[in-house]
């Protein structure tokens, strides 16, 4: 049999060129079949090898096998290239407008008072204060008399009160829980008391007849005004997450002696003066004082054995400052346009 | 209360003469009005406003009720200013020395010939002093006097009345002037009013008096409401020649009661109801006579009529320097402490190295115990100088409050489920009650509501949640809200409820939510019981009778689930159906448990078979589920109802229930033969029921 003329070099060039030209995987596959398929040109060369004389067979055989491996790699590379190109094309086609609005999942919302209350509880919790609660319908004894606010005394006018036909009142502050707690627990202790309180007054953007208050009470052998300043100062720094200056001013509450009101440097203007603080640079946020000996007495504790301080503040006020809310009536409006923002 | 800056300034002079006629300035200048306001606010009382008024300034000072006794007066505020600034004020000497206010009495005229005083009840009137002035000329007051009254918001009338008011503003002691010739029987009697007595006051108001109102009467009738307002009959007019001047002390509670009863509050009653030092009457009346003599002329009759059976003497309080330090948390030098107390008018006696005895002037009605003195020291010394010192305490971790823990947990879960939390008022109005079939006798009523909207305490959280829907439905179609708060029940019960609602035909969504919520609380064995209202059960009124259920754990009802009756929704103009859940939160927290156990994932595959069952419409899914479970045995891991179908292609009154039944063993792989056997057992059991049919 006559040996066909084998020019591997031409075959190589030809194949390479065709691979190069292939536009897609299908074309590439055709080319593969043409050269390396069962009846492919190179395959046929390899099949003819055995008919060659031994000397030639070895030489051409090696060259042909090398070519085969070389082309395989070239095919693979090209295939990879085409695949990537095809994917890219698909991706290109899938362009989306990233400026179109996203679709939000429907989440619920916690009330801002809950958020603020949790924060207050957490901060005081970290300082060893337990959370205690008490009734919202209260006796006059716990709400007034036990707190050293005698009947028929003008001091009672400081608290506008809702009277109920069942003989109770709606508590005007969380302070009655001081007495309720001290009656049943022996000092030392540190507690805070969150809860609803009620004031009989007309409402406007800064007045509300139902408020959420937090009371604090710390009693031990010797806790002083200096300690009070430290604990409350720490609270305000943590709550507003910045350096807050605060000041005590004389005030009067029948159940504390001495009594003071607490002002903090305005968190809106950092004390420079703005409309929120009425240009004063300070905001009154809480009332406080050292527990009056009569309150210890009324709680069945021996006054000379114990010292303590107490404070009370409105959560609405803190929330208004924290979230820049301009109308206190929003809290109990049930308005979802307001609530959905928290 | 408003104060005149110039008037306050007039007490700070080097001369010891009383400030008449007033001279402004003087060698001891007060700080400028704004600065003075700042000082007062920092150390005594808040000054809420400083306003220019002609050549003067008005200071609006918020004197707290405990200091009304001495500081509802210019003299009292001057004393505070002196203590704060260290400036010596004239009152220091003049309040304590009546000598400076010596009156020239006319020895030919005896006061007791013009009036006699009888006090029927000495508890109601601990002191009554009176003086008589003859031949006065009633005319308008000089300008300096009317100016000062105007700065303090008082309307000038005539010199006598103006002086009486002036002395009240200056000393804090209310006085009253009667026309001596109009007193029947030349008598002044202090007594309680008799039933049926009436009085017409100076401003022509008529009052019916009753036996707990204290009056000043002459021999025949009441001529003034004691400590509150003068009566018309003995009014001072231009013809008045003889003045009987009253400076008395009345019991604060009695004046407060009377003032409330008559609904009449005056500058006088305001001062009396806070309590005044009985020793002040004499000084004030002397001061008033002094001014009358100078301004209205006339002769002061000899003798002070003075009923004062129980003289009040100064109290003494022991002050322990160590206690001052212990309470305030700062060491203040003994010298400083003593100086502060002296500036405030206290007298000190040394009794030991660390103790002094403090004599409290009788005008300081608020100082009763050592702590009161410590407050005085603290505020004048300056709270700002007290350092911040963290307390040294035993390391007791805070007690965990489980109520709060579960509250937080439940709220978080509801929020995750897309619910928004609301805080509503604790009140409802009468209409709400009626709509819910709760009549007023069953509600706790507010005696003095702010408005009719707050007439009753809420017996349920539902009414206000429905109001939230009313107000929001125009803007939001998809409302899911909840509240955790207290409800109030007669006679005096309050309990916490967890109540929420969801708009739409959402019974099963809410039911699923409840299962999930209770699951998160670690509460199992939940079941739903049909609600069978007893005829007297009022809550039946609000629910859709066919779409509601009691939520039960074991045999206890812990909550309620249901659609609100369309009738109620129509009344409330709510356009969409809505489903409510209503839990007794206290019961929930009792049942709640933090225990939670992981169930290992089986290593063996699960197999799923579907089963469709045709049952009568009124058959409960629960019944079918129970049947499958009972007949299928322990290899059934779960049964999942994935479709309920009623309608076309099905016989009337029938529904199709489609289940996925999931089989799995913890110990081996189940063969399909084994599963088929169980499945056949289930089918057989179901078909034993005459009206049930498995669809193949």
pLDDT tens-digit map of A199-218: 999 999 989 999 999 999 99
- Is B405 within 8 Å of chain A by CB? no
Interchain proximity A225–B419, CB inside 8 Å: no
**Range(s) of the domain holding residue B39:** 2-99
What whole-number distance in Å separates Cα of residue A170 and Cα of residue A199? 8
CA distance A30 to A19: 10
CATH number at residue B252: 3.50.40.10
Name every residue whose Cβ is closer than 8 Å to that of residue A45 and which is 6 or more positions away in sequence.
A6, A8, A11, A60, A64
Q: Do A136 and B64 make contact, defined as CB atoms within 8 angstroms?
A: no
Asked if residue B406 and residue B475 are part of one domain, the reply reads yes
B477 CA to chain A: closest CA distance, Å? 11
Our CA-based measurement puts residue A97 at a distance from the nearest CA of chain B, in whole angstroms, of: 28
A153 CB neighbour count, 10 Å cutoff? 20
- Answer for the pair B561, B580: CB distance below 8 angstroms, yes or no: yes
Name, in order, each residue with C-beta under 8 angstroms of A86's C-beta and a sequence gap of 6 or more: A24, A25
pLDDT exceeds cutoff 70 at A189 = yes
Q: How confident is the model at residue B75 (pLDDT cuts 50, 70, 90)?
A: very high
Lowest mean pLDDT of B21-35, B73-87, B309-323, name the range: B21-35
Burial class (CB in 10 A: 0-12, 13-18, 19+), B228: buried
What tokens does B280 get?
């002040």
In angstroms, what is the C-alpha Rg of chain B?
Answer: 41
The Cβ of residue B556 has, within 10 Å, a number of other Cβ atoms equal to 12
d(CA B198, CA B185): 19
Tell me which residue in A121, A252, A334 faces B471 most closely, judged by beta carbons: A334
Residue among A113, A131, A202 minimizing CB distance to B450: A202
- Residue B601 forms part of a structural domain: no
Instruction: Tell me the per-residue pLDDT of B388-399, one tens digit each, with 9 for 90 and over.
Output: 999 887 778 888
CB neighbour list of residue A48: distance below 8 Å, 6 or more residues apart: A3, A4, A6
Answer yes or no: do B69 and B164 share one domain.
no
Q: What percent of chain B has pLDDT over 90?
A: 80
| pLDDT (0 to 100) of residue B23 | 45
Looking at beta carbons, which residues of chain A come within 8 Å of B67? 252
pLDDT at B648: 83
Q: For residue A189, how many C-alpha atoms fall within 13 Å in the half-sphere facing its CB?
A: 18
pLDDT bin (cut points 50, 70, 90) of residue B456 is very high
The reply to whether residue B64 touches residue A252, judged by beta carbons under 8 angstroms, is yes
Q: Per the CB < 8 Å rule, is A107 touching B273?
A: no
Half-sphere exposure of B322 (CA within 13 A, CB side): 5
Answer yes or no: is B118 within a domain: yes
Helical residues (DSSP H) of B312-441, grouped into ranges: 321-328, 334-343, 370-381, 402-416, 430-435
* Predicted confidence (pLDDT) at residue A268 exceeds the cutoff of 90: no
Is A108 in CB contact (< 8 Å) with chain B?
yes
CA–CA distance, B125 with B123 (Å, rounded to integer) = 5
* A220-265 pLDDT per residue, tens: 998 999 999 999 999 999 999 988 888 899 999 999 999 999 998 8
Residue of B nearest to A252 (CA): B64
Q: Is the sign of the CA dihedral B558, B563, B567, B573 positive or negative? A: positive
Q: Is A217's Cβ below 8 Å from some Cβ in B? A: no
> For an interface test with A, which of B34, B420, B464 has the most A Cβ atoms less than 10 Å from its Cβ?
B420
For residues B92 and B111, membership in a common domain is answered with: no
The last residue of one of the domains, among B564, B591, B618, is B591
What is the DSSP secondary structure assignment for residue A199, as one 8-state letter? -
Query: Residues of B numbered 250-269 whose beta carbons fall under 8 angstroms of chain A's beta carbons: which are they?
Result: 252-253, 256-257
| Best CA proximity match to B117, nearest among B246, B224, B254 | B246
B327, B420, B486 ranked by CB distance to A307: nearest:
B327
Of A169-183, A312-326, B275-289, B428-442, the one with minimum mean pLDDT is B428-442
Q: How many CA atoms lie within 13 A of A141 on its CB side?
A: 5
- Residue A114: its pLDDT value, please? 98
pLDDT top residue among B633 and B439: B633
Same domain, residue pair B115 and B252: yes
User: Cis peptide leading into A83, omega within 30 of 0?
Assistant: no
- On whether any CB of chain A is under 8 Å from the CB of B445, the answer is yes
Q: Does B364 touch chain A (CB under 8 A)?
A: no
Residue pLDDT, tens place only, B137-150 = 999 999 999 999 99
Choosing from B37, B69, B99, the residue where a domain stops is B99
SS3 B481: strand
- The CATH number for B449's domain is 3.30.930.10
DSSP for B156-216, written as a single string: P--HHHHHHHHHHHHHS--EEEEEGGGSGGGEEEEEEPPTT-EEEBTT--EEE--TTSEEE
Q: Which chain B residue lies closest to A278 (C-alpha atoms)?
A: B48
User: Per-residue pLDDT for B101 more than 80?
Assistant: no
Residue window 455-474, chain B: list those with CB within 8 Å of chain A: 457, 464, 467-468, 471-472
- Among B580, B559, B415, which Cα is nearest to B501's? B580
Residues B214, B296 within the same domain: yes
Residues B80 and B215 in one domain: no
* Longest Cα separation, chain A: 136
Is B393 part of a structural domain of the chain? no
B224-268 residue pLDDT tens: 999 999 999 999 999 999 999 999 999 999 999 999 999 999 999
How many angstroms separate the CA atoms of A329 and A321, rounded? 14
Position B21 scores a pLDDT of 46
CA neighbor of B403 nearest in space, from B473, B499, B468, B495: B495
DSSP B667: S
Question: Domain for residue B611, yes or no?
Answer: yes
Question: Over pLDDT 70: what percentage of chain B?
Answer: 95
Beta strands in B521-653 (DSSP E): 526-530, 543-553, 556-564, 578-584, 607-616, 636-645
pLDDT above 80 (res B440):
no
Say how many domains are in chain B: 5
Domain annotation covers residue B113: yes
For chain B, give the mean pLDDT.
Answer: 91
**Residue A338 pLDDT more than 60?**
yes
Q: B43 and B78: one domain? A: yes
Residues B472, B480: Cα–Cα separation, whole Å:
11
3-state secondary structure (DSSP) of residue A253: coil
Q: Is the pLDDT of residue B95 over 70?
A: no
Of B599, B659, B656, which Cα lies nearest the Cα of B626?
Answer: B659
B153-167 pLDDT, tens digit each? 999 999 999 999 999
Task: Determine the residue of chain A that is closest to B41 in CA distance.
Answer: A249
Kindly determine whether residue A332 and residue B425, on different chains, have CB atoms separated by under 8 Å. Answer: yes
In the predicted structure, residue B100 carries a pLDDT above the cut 90: no
Q: Which 48-67 residues of chain A touch chain B by CB within 8 A?
A: none
Span of B196-200, B220-224, B396-400, B480-484 with lowest mean pLDDT: B396-400
pLDDT at B229: 96
Residue A203: name the closest of A160, A165, A263 by CA: A160
pLDDT for residue B24 is more than 70: no
A1 — pLDDT class (breaks 50, 70, 90): very low
**DSSP tag of B418:** T
Q: Do A335 and B327 touch (CB under 8 A)?
A: no
Among B432, B407, B438, B620, which residue's Cα sits nearest to residue B521? B407
Among residues B558, B591, B624, which one ends one of the domains? B591
pLDDT value for A2: 46
Whole-number pLDDT of residue B14: 55
- Rounded mean pLDDT, A174-180: 97
> CB–CB of A249 and B46 under 8 A?
yes
Q: What's the rounded Cα separation, in Å, for the pair B46 and B62?
A: 5
Smallest Cα–Cα separation from B458: which of B508, B494, B482, B422? B494
Segment B496-518 mean pLDDT: 95
Q: Is the pLDDT of residue B556 over 80?
A: yes
List CB contacts of B250: < 8 A, sequence separation 6 or more: B124, B125, B126, B214, B226, B227, B272
Handedness of CA B188, B191, B197, B198 (dihedral sign): positive
CA A84, A86, A89, A91 torsion-angle sign: negative
Strand order across the beta sheet in which B355-360 lies: B315-320, B355-360, B347-350
Does some domain include residue B260? yes
The gap from C-alpha B423 to its chain's centroid, in whole angstroms, comes to 19
Q: B649 lies in a domain?
A: yes
pLDDT at A47: 83
Give the mean pLDDT of B599-617. 90
To probe the interface with A, which of B388, B482, B487, B509 has the most A CB atoms within 10 Å?
Answer: B388
DSSP 3-state helix, strand, coil percentages of chain B (rounded to 5)?
Answer: 35, 25, 40
With contact defined as beta carbons under 8 Å apart, do B425 and A252 qualify? no
| Cα separation, B149 vs B166, whole angstroms | 7
Whether B477 and B549 share a structural domain: yes
pLDDT of residue B631: 92
How many residues in chain A? Answer: 342
B288 and B217 in a single domain? The answer is yes
Token pair for B585: 């939160």
Closest CA to B145 of B130, B134, B160: B160
CA angle B399/B401/B402 to nearest 5° reads 130
Residue-level pLDDT at B647 = 85
CATH of the domain at B337: 3.30.56.10
Residue B645 tokens read as: 């179908």
Q: Region of B131 please: left (phi>0), alpha (psi -120 to 50) or beta.
A: beta
Question: A261 pairs with which residues across the strands?
Answer: A249, A287
Q: Are residues B286 and B166 in the same domain?
A: yes
* Per-residue confidence (pLDDT) for residue B1, from 0 to 100: 94
B571 and B556 fall within a common domain:
yes
Report the pLDDT value the prediction gives residue B108, as an integer from 0 to 100.
93
B439 lies in the same domain as B538: yes
Helix (H) or strand (E) holding A10: helix A8-21
Q: Within a domain: residue B596?
A: no
In this prediction, what percent of chain A has a pLDDT beyond 70? 98
- Distance from the A122 Cα atom to the nearest Cα atom in chain B, whole angstroms: 11
Do the chains contact at A334 and B388, CB–CB below 8 Å? no
The structure tokens 């008037």 sit at B7
Q: Average pLDDT of A61-77?
A: 88
Q: Do B411 and A252 touch (CB under 8 A)?
A: no
- pLDDT for res B26: 47
Q: Taking CB atoms and an 8 Å limit, are B446 and A163 in contact across chains?
A: yes
What pLDDT, on a 0 to 100 scale, did the predictor assign at position B535?
63
């Amino acid at each position: 049999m006559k040996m066909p003329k084998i020019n591997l070099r031409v075959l190589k060039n030809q194949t390479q060129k065709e691979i190069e030209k292939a536009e897609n995987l299908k074309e590439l596959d055709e080319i593969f079949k043409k050269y390396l398929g069962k009846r492919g040109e190179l395959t046929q060369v390899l099949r003819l090898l055995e008919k060659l004389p031994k000397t030639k067979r070895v030489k051409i055989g090696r060259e042909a096998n090398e070519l085969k491996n070389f082309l395989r790699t070239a095919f693979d590379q090209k295939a990879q290239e085409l695949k990537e190109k095809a994917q890219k094309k698909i991706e290109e086609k899938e362009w989306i407008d990233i400026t179109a609005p996203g679709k939000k999942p429907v989440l619920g919302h916690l009330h801002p008072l809950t958020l603020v209350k949790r924060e207050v509880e957490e901060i005081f919790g970290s300082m060893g204060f337990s959370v205690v609660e008490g009734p919202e319908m209260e006796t006059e004894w716990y709400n007034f008399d036990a707190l050293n606010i005698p009947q028929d005394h003008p001091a009672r006018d400081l608290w506008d009160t809702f009277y109920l036909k069942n003989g109770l009142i709606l508590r005007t502050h969380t302070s009655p829980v001081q007495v309720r707690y001290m009656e049943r627990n022996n000092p030392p202790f540190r507690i805070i008391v969150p809860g609803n309180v009620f004031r009989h007054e007309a409402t406007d953007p800064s007045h509300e007849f139902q408020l959420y208050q937090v009371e604090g009470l710390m009693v031990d052998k010797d806790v002083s005004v200096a300690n009070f300043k430290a604990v409350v100062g720490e609270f305000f720094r943590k709550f507003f997450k910045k350096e807050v200056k605060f000041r005590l001013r004389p005030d009067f509450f029948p159940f504390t002696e001495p009594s003071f009101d607490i002002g903090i440097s305005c968190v809106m203007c950092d004390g420079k003066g703005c409309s929120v603080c009425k240009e004063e640079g300070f905001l009154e946020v809480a009332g406080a004082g050292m527990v009056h000996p009569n309150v210890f007495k009324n709680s069945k504790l021996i006054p000379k054995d114990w010292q303590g301080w107490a404070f009370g503040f409105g959560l609405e006020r803190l929330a208004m400052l924290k979230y820049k809310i301009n109308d206190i009536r929003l809290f109990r409006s049930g308005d979802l346009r307001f609530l959905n923002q928290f | 209360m408003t104060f005149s800056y110039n008037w306050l300034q007039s007490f700070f002079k080097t001369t010891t003469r009383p400030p008449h006629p007033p001279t402004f300035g003087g060698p001891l200048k007060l700080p400028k009005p704004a600065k003075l306001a700042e000082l007062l606010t920092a150390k005594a009382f808040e000054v809420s406003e400083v306003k220019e008024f002609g050549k003067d300034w008005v200071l609006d000072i918020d004197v707290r009720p405990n200091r009304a006794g001495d500081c509802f007066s210019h003299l009292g505020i001057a004393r505070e200013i002196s203590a704060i600034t260290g400036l010596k004020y004239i009152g220091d000497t003049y309040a304590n020395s009546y000598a400076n206010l010596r009156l020239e009495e006319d020895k030919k005229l005896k006061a007791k010939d013009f009036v006699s005083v009888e006090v029927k009840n000495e508890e109601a009137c601990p002191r009554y002093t009176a003086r008589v002035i003859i031949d006065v000329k009633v005319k308008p007051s000089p300008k300096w006097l009317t100016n000062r009254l105007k700065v303090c918001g008082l309307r000038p009338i005539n010199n006598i009345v103006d002086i009486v008011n002036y002395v009240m503003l200056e000393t804090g002691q209310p006085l009253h002037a009667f026309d001596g010739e109009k007193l029947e029987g030349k008598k002044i009697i202090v007594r309680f009013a008799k039933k049926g007595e009436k009085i017409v006051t100076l401003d022509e108001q008529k009052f019916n008096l009753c036996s707990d109102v204290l009056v000043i009467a002459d021999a025949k009738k009441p001529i003034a409401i004691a400590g509150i307002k003068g009566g018309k009959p003995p009014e001072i007019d231009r013809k008045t020649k003889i003045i009987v001047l009253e400076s008395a002390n009345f019991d604060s509670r009695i004046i407060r009661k009377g003032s409330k009863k008559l609904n009449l509050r005056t500058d006088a009653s305001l001062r009396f109801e806070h309590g005044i030092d009985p020793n002040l009457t004499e000084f004030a009346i002397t001061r008033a006579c002094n001014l009358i003599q100078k301004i209205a002329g006339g002769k002061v009759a000899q003798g002070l009529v003075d009923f004062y059976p129980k003289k009040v003497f100064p109290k003494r309080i022991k002050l322990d320097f160590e206690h001052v330090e212990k309470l305030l948390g700062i060491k203040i030098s003994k010298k400083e402490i003593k100086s502060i107390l002296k500036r405030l008018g206290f007298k000190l006696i040394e009794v030991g190295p660390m103790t002094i005895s403090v004599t409290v002037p009788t005008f300081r009605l608020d100082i009763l115990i050592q702590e009161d003195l410590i407050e005085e020291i603290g505020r004048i010394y300056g709270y700002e100088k007290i350092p911040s010192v963290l307390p040294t305490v035993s390391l007791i971790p805070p007690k965990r409050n489980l109520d709060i823990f579960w509250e937080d947990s439940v709220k978080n879960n509801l929020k995750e489920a897309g619910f928004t939390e609301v805080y509503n008022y604790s009140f409802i109005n009468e209409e709400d009650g009626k709509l819910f079939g709760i009549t007023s006798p069953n509600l706790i009523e507010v005696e003095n509501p702010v408005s009719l909207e707050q007439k009753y305490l809420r017996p349920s959280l539902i009414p206000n949640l429905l109001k939230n829907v009313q107000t929001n439905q125009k803007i939001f179609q998809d409302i899911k809200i909840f509240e955790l708060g207290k409800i109030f029940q007669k006679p005096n019960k309050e309990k916490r409820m967890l109540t929420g609602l969801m708009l739409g035909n959402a019974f099963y969504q809410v039911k699923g939510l409840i299962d999930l919520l209770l699951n998160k609380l670690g509460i199992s064995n939940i079941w739903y019981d049909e609600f069978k209202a007893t005829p007297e059960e009022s809550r039946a009124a609000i629910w859709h009778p066919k779409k509601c259920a009691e939520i039960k754990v074991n045999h206890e009802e812990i909550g309620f689930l249901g659609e609100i009756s369309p009738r109620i929704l129509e009344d409330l103009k709510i356009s969409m159906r809505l489903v409510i859940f209503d839990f007794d939160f206290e019961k929930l927290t009792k049942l709640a448990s933090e225990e939670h156990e992981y169930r290992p994932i089986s290593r063996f595959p699960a197999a799923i078979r579907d089963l469709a069952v045709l049952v009568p419409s009124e058959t409960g899914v629960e019944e079918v589920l129970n049947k499958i479970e009972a007949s299928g045995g322990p290899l059934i891991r779960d049964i999942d109802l994935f479709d309920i179908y009623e309608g076309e292609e099905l016989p009337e009154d029938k529904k199709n229930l489609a289940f996925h039944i999931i089989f799995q063993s913890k110990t081996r792989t189940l063969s399909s033969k084994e599963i088929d056997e169980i499945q056949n057992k289930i089918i057989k059991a179901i078909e034993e029921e005459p009206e049930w049919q498995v669809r193949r």
